[in-house]
Amino acid sequence: MSDSRKKLDEALSRLTPEQYRITQQNGTERPFANPYWDLKEPGLYVDVVSGEPLFASIDKFDSGTGWPSFTRPVFGDAVTEHRDATHGMVRVEARSAGADSHLGHVFPDGPQEAGGMRYCINSAALRFVPASALEEEGYGAFTGLFEEAGTGS
């Protein structure tokens, strides 16, 4: 077994049943019943499986949907987009590039002044790293995002 496969298997074994259902079985959590939909604290949202940086709180907005919503990923290639024709509709699925975790969906109804996109993401697919803990958790390269936005730690 390759080292990367072993690391992925170890990461998957640490997921809660809900995190596994969402990230590995393309599930969706209930709106307004998840930990990050209304979190306002500055910080970084990373893939719960791989730890890959996905979204920053500076790009988060209240979409009124009950799920965390972002205008863009922290890096353009951090999230991949795929056609999803399940549930009798055609949508754009968002997946993490590194671990291929199902994150949620992308819609073209976000704030126009920020590009018009809404990345509607399941909280269970994310782990939140507060801006004040970025350095100690190995994400120190991202502290500048929050200092520039005036939301530093």
Set out the domains of the chain in order of their start, with CATH numbers: 3-131 (2.170.150.20)
Instruction: Report if pTM > 0.85.
Output: yes
Question: Which pLDDT score is estimated for 151?
Answer: 53
Question: Which pLDDT score is estimated for 4?
Answer: 67
Question: Which pLDDT score is estimated for 85?
Answer: 76
Which of 120, 121, 124, 125 is the catalytic position? 120
Residue in the block written with tokens 């704030």 = 111
The 10 Å CB-count burial string (b at 16+, else e) for 92-103 is: ebbbbbbbebbb
47-95 pLDDT tens trace: 999 999 999 999 999 999 999 999 999 998 999 999 887 878 788 999 9
From the CA atom positions of the chain, what is the Rg in Å? Answer: 15
Segment 142-149 mean pLDDT: 84
Question: Which pLDDT score is estimated for 2?
Answer: 60
37-50 pLDDT tens trace: 999 999 999 999 99
- Cβ partners under 8 Å of residue 60, min gap 6: 68, 69, 70
Confidence of residue 9 (pLDDT cuts 50, 70, 90): confident
Answer whether residue 15 shows pLDDT above 50: yes
Tell me if residue 43 is catalytic.
no
Both tokens of 73, joined, read 């990923």
The span from the CA of 132 to the CA of 121, in Å, is: 23
